[in-house]
Amino acid sequence: PGISVTAAAPEQATPYLRPLLRFAAAHVPARKHKETPLYILCTAGMRLLPERQQAAILDDLVTNVPLEFDFLFSKSHAEVISGKQEGVYSWIGINFVLGRFDHEDEEDAVVTVALRDQRKSLVRKRTVGILDMGGASLQIAYEVPDSGAISSPQQQEEAAKSLLAEFNLGCDVQHTGHMYRVYVNTFLGFGGNFARQRYEEHVLNQTYEHNRLHSQETGLSPNMPFLDPCLPVGLEDTVVRGGKTLYMRGQGDWLTCAKLLQPLLTGSNGSHASLVETYKAPIDFSNSEFYGFSEFFYCTEDVLRLGGQYSAPTFTSAAQEYCSQRWEVLTQRFRGGLYSAHADQHRLKYQCFKSAWMYQVLHEGFQFPLDYPSLRTAQLVYDREVQWTLGAILYKTRFLPLRDLRQESIRQAHASWLRLSFVYNHYLFFACILVVALAIVLYLLRLRRIHRRQLRSAQHTLLWLDKVVVPVGQGSGP
């Protein structure tokens, strides 16, 4: 369930994590333990605890984990991260798996990025934004390439600053090619299940108020149910809140359901902040791409079988058709195996509502155009389930590879220099021998030619003497 369960007994935090740490220790070579960083990052469960209890749990980990394990673990390696950090890590993980940080591939779509304190703009591979709707919350994260896009009225300046994260994923702080500016926001209460609860409370209160004003008894008994357009036709459900009970029966009207959900987006029911009015950094819908996870995928795939490339008209048509079916027909299809293996009774029951909620969040809340072509709903990316933890470890260790690469490059350069020197010296030695040998041969050949020339010269001299020198005793007569 999470380490927050040790809040009442923080001394149990290390024992609680011991099985996981032992698993890690068994799979990391023992000789590498001292140089393997260990990070313990806590999320939503810990964020809900008072700071005093958070600190007690973290202190236990920082004190006792190093006593049992030799991993590289310091006080700064254990922390409670914010929802903003979690969103950034999710964004990093997805884009890493998709290869969007590799700027060498020129075939993919690109975007022009205006970096702060940089005169020239940077053209690099376009990153993807993420939409993630869980049971209780909704999150969005995407890059804001243009620094001018965050300019907003004075009352929104602080909100803009708190929702934007700027970070460097380069090998060092001087490497600006991987400087990113990302908008991240988490909307509590806007998840699929929580939105259904808010809707039920809204309908219950409105129905009771309507009954009081008009002396009616709608929804007070199974014989006079409230006709819920967000449930399949004929499905019966009961809502109990604060001593009040509301009986419902599905009407299966998807368009009416979507309209009834608008007050939950704007916050006009007074229970939550407005998704519509909250500051959101501008999105260039003509040059952007998004992935939708969790409920975005379940809503499109589990029963509608439309997961993947999202098309608003196709999705709307399929959602309306599903909602209009009688509950008996849907359960029969379910038993016949016509839906995804992940679909269950809960999915069948609330698919109509959740599909309308997803549609409203996407197109009314975040203002995605109805003809937006670049949204893909997915559970896996390249057959991998990508978690925020991947992005966290990439961010936390982003400078470590540089040190290792530099040391390795120095070692390789030194080794290459030694090999090159060794080979070069050998070649130089043999070359010198060859040059000396050639010099000796040439010298001997030259001596031989000189010797031959001298012999020929001597022979010519003897012949000449034979012709011009008179022998003694020979000469003219008396």
Q: What are the residues whose beta carbons fall under 8 Å from the beta carbon of 108, sequence distance 6 or more?
A: 100, 125, 126
Which burial class, exposed, middle or buried, applies to 91 when counting CB atoms under 10 A from its CB (0-12, 13-18, 19+)?
Answer: buried
**pLDDT band for position 456 (50/70/90)?**
low
Which residues define the annotated binding site for ATP?
Answer: 135-139
86 catalytic residue (yes or no): yes
Binding residues: 135-139
Task: Report the phi/psi class of residue 383: left, alpha or beta, with left for phi > 0 and alpha for psi in -120 to 50.
Answer: left
**Integer Cα distance of 21 and 26 in angstroms:** 9
Question: What is the DSSP track for 239-265?
Answer: EEETTEEEEEEE---HHHHHHHTHHHH
User: Count of alpha carbons within 13 Å of 59, Cβ hemisphere only?
Assistant: 10
User: Is the whole model's pTM more than 0.75, yes or no?
Assistant: yes
Spatial distance between the Cα atoms of 247 and 66, rounded to a whole number of angstroms: 57
Dihedral of CA atoms 193, 195, 198, 202 in degrees, nearest 10, equals: -130
Structural domains in the chain, CATH included, are: 1-80 (3.30.420.40), 192-387 (3.30.420.150)
In a 3-state reduction of DSSP, which class is residue 213?
A: helix
DSSP H or E run through 426:
helix 400-468
Tens of pLDDT, residues 186-208: 998 899 999 999 999 999 999 99
What are the tens digits of pLDDT across the range 123-181?
Answer: 889 999 999 999 988 999 999 987 666 655 654 566 667 889 989 887 766 677 788 99
Q: Which structure tokens are listed for 289?
A: 């791409």
Cross-strand partners of 166? 181
**339-388 tens-digit pLDDT:** 999 899 999 999 999 999 999 999 999 999 999 999 999 999 988 888 89
The pLDDT, as a whole number, for residue 127 is 95
- Of the chain, the percentage scoring pLDDT greater than 70 comes to 81
Nearest to 17 by CA among 28, 34, 35, 5: 5
Q: Which of 79, 86, 158, 385 is catalytic?
A: 86
DSSP lists the bridge partners of residue 131 as: 140, 292
